[in-house]
Chains A and B, each alone.
Chain A
Amino acid sequence: MRYVKISPENTYEFLSRLKGMGTLYAPSKISEQFYDFQEVDDVKDVEFDYHRTIRPPRRFFYPVEETMFTFDTHKVELKEKLPRKERVILFGVHNCDIVALRIMDAEFLDEQPDPYYQIRRQNGIIIGLSCMPDEYCFCNVRRIEFVDAGFDLFFHELPDGFLVRVGTVTGHKLIDPNMDLFSEVSKKDVDNISEFERKKADAFKVKGNWDDLRYLLELRMDHPMYEREADKCLGCGNCTLTCPTCRCYDVKDKPSIDGRTGERIRFWDSCQFRTHGLVAGGHNFRETKQDRFYNRYQCKNAYCPETTTAYCVGCGRCTYFCPADIQFRSNLMEIGGYQEVKK
């Protein structure tokens, strides 16, 4: 792998140059507590020290709502409305969200690729950014606190700039014409990076790995946690909308006023909604709130063979943004019998 170094001032210059290559999105503080990926206007507004964005980066490749087809009801013809090939550059993506995008790839770019996602993803550039975990993070037990793939560039924080890992050919092409901004990595930089990783490892509230959680979830299906916690759940779907790997969608037809034409639209759905498993005749495959709550715990902890991780990447969003204060991590620890590290 290729490693280069960049100073803080040059980072701003690099971001300015990236803006000229496509639409640049980066984390930005949008309220007292919340961050979100926003289109970068002034590069000085980019937030390098953020915990998590309210909306996960999947929305850049799989928007909240999109038109799949336009149709003509008289000819009974559907016309695919594919997205335009527009360059989107995401700067400041944390390791959890990078793995989350790889999980999205596993689902949407399998042997039957989704063309809408595929076109957007092919035109996306991912630039990672290192982070220090807060009390909600548990990516380490998901084995993804350090990523080897899924980014074009990855910025590791140094006391005096960033050490940049180049992950892909696209990454090289971003660096090469801008070598005036980058310098060689020194031995001290490497020591600083390993010190950063050591501090990061220490900062997590949980240690080890949760590989056996899948089995324990299945062996403890009747655990009282489900009933107790599902009772608190409001069924609002915030956990799934903020989740970087949730991908359920529903489809609706929107006919024009004269009924001759229309659009077939897909939009994010949530397994926490009553309608998710509802079929004609009123039968519901996940009838109760507890059924739906249980379903999410199984789905998020299932194994994704392509990333060899769980579908949950431990970003902490579902807990951080839960209006009912349901603690996903603690609930899983209860099932798995895991303990927090005593400081």
Chain B
Amino acid sequence: MSKEQEPSIYETHKCRLLRKYQLTDLESLFLFRFEDPGVAQDWRFMPGQFVEVSLLGLGEVPISICSSARRVGFFELCIRNAGRVTSAIHQLQPGSLVGIRGPYGNGFPMEQFHGRDLLCVAAGLGMAPLRSVFLYALDNRWLFGNITIINSAKFGNELLFQKELEAMKDIATAENISIVQTATRDPDFEGLHGRATVHMDKANVDPKNCAVAMCGPPAMYRGMFDYLVEKGYDPRYIFVTLERRMKCGVGKCGHCNIGTATSWKYACKDGPVFDYYAITSIPGLI
């Protein structure tokens, strides 16, 4: 292959929307399949990575992949109807084609998690990337100890994948999986109330041998870090994922830059997953 034919870092693959499933008022789950059989076979990602979804004529948006990394040729995106491009994606009908670039970002270091308990803490849209982490652990169940997932949202009807997680409760006990779902500002919610932080005692894991994956607003991380360290969780296995304006995905366009002069980072390339020490030592990350 000559140099000119090498795939560009901006190479976009054609993907077909197969199914659209409404999760909440604002968020829907989209199942995509690669059109090119070769790409479908070879395309891989790690939980925590994201793709750039392209609607030609409108532009691109970065979206976390929320499906199982084991499923080849297909992937799911949980997308909030929030802006110009995402509202157009919500109007797409099954069968429509979109462009996909990626996967980008470092993702969660899943191999480091092997042999440990797993605690996933999600707030709001944070459940989207963490679903991929959670599904990884289920797909590789024998590589993990106990698993706890804490899913929180302001209102009960905003809990992402609530039904899916609820349905899993039948096998949860036998599989040593704990599922905690809580609404922070919804007195009518028939379930737990309060922030994720107040339900941390329901985590059925051994802090000393547990990997923690979190995705939520920065304010949650601050409180959570103090709690986790106090309870004896190993900081080396605490990871969070950050949101920034990831425009190019390859550390070029500069929009997702974070940090300070000693630690200048691109969230799209150096992140979006950062460990406890990066978050606590680099000002401005959260």
- List the interface of chain A (C-beta within 8 A of B): 68-69, 71-73, 76-78, 80, 82, 107-108, 110, 112-115, 213-215, 217-218, 221, 247-253, 255, 259, 262, 264, 266, 269, 271, 276-281, 285, 295, 297-299, 301-303, 310-311
Contacts and interface: CB of A to CB of B under 8 A. Distances in A.
B109 interface: no
5 contacts: A218-B261, A218-B283, A277-B244, A302-B264, A303-B264
Most buried by A among B4, B12, B57, B86: B57
B101 to A, nearest CB: 10
A253 B251 contact: no
Interface stretch (B41-49, B58-66, B114-122, B224-232): B58-66
Contact of A217 (B251, B254, B257, B261): B261
Given A80-B8, A215-B262, A285-B244, A248 B253 contact: yes
B9 A303 contact: no
B261 A277 contact: no
Nearest to B60: A251
A65 to B, nearest CB: 14
B247 A250 contact: yes
Interface string B204-245: 000000000000000000000000000000000000000111
Nearest to B26: A281
B98 interface: yes
A164 B129 CA distance: 57
A113 B264 CA distance: 19
Given A78-B56, A113-B9, A253-B58, A271 B254 contact: yes
A69 B101 CA distance: 14
Contact of A269 (B10, B12, B254): B254
A269 B253 contact: yes
Interface of B: 4, 8-12, 14, 54, 56-61, 80, 82-86, 97-99, 243-245, 247-248, 250-255, 257, 259-262, 264, 283-284
Given A279-B245, A280-B82, A252 B97 contact: no
A215 B260 CA distance: 9
Contacts of A215: 261-262
B252 A299 contact: no
A107 B57 contact: no
Contact of B262 (A78, A80, A107, A214): A214
A251 to B, nearest CB: 6
Contacts of B245: 276-279, 285
Contacts of B54: 78
7 A-B pairs closest in CB distance: A280-B83, A248-B254, A302-B264, A76-B97, A280-B82, A214-B261, A255-B57
A273 B9 CA distance: 27
Given A221-B283, A251-B60, A252-B59, A76 B264 contact: no
Given A76-B14, A281-B83, A298-B264, A251 B248 contact: yes
B86 A303 contact: no
Contact of A115 (B9, B12, B59, B259): B9
Contacts of A217: 260-262
A295 B257 contact: yes
Contacts of A112: 9, 250-252
A262 B57 contact: yes
Contact of A78 (B9, B84, B99, B254): B99
A281 B84 CA distance: 10
B15 to A, nearest CB: 9
A80 B10 contact: yes
Given A76-B56, A78-B12, A280-B61, A298 B250 contact: no
Contacts of B259: 298, 302
Contacts of B8: 80, 115
A107 B59 CA distance: 24
A8 B8 CA distance: 45
B254 A303 contact: no
B9 A114 contact: yes
Nearest to B243: A279
A253 B59 contact: yes
B57 A218 contact: no
A221 B259 CA distance: 12
B135 to A, nearest CB: 26
A299 B254 CA distance: 10
A269 B255 contact: yes
B265 to A, nearest CB: 9
Given A78-B99, A221-B283, A252-B59, A298 B83 contact: no
A208 B24 CA distance: 60
Contacts of A297: 261
B244 to A, nearest CB: 6
A251 B253 CA distance: 9
Nearest to B254: A248
A250 B248 CA distance: 9
A281 B86 CA distance: 11
Nearest to A217: B261
A279 B251 CA distance: 17
Given A113-B9, A248-B255, A303 B262 contact: yes
Contacts of B57: 71, 73, 253, 255, 259, 262
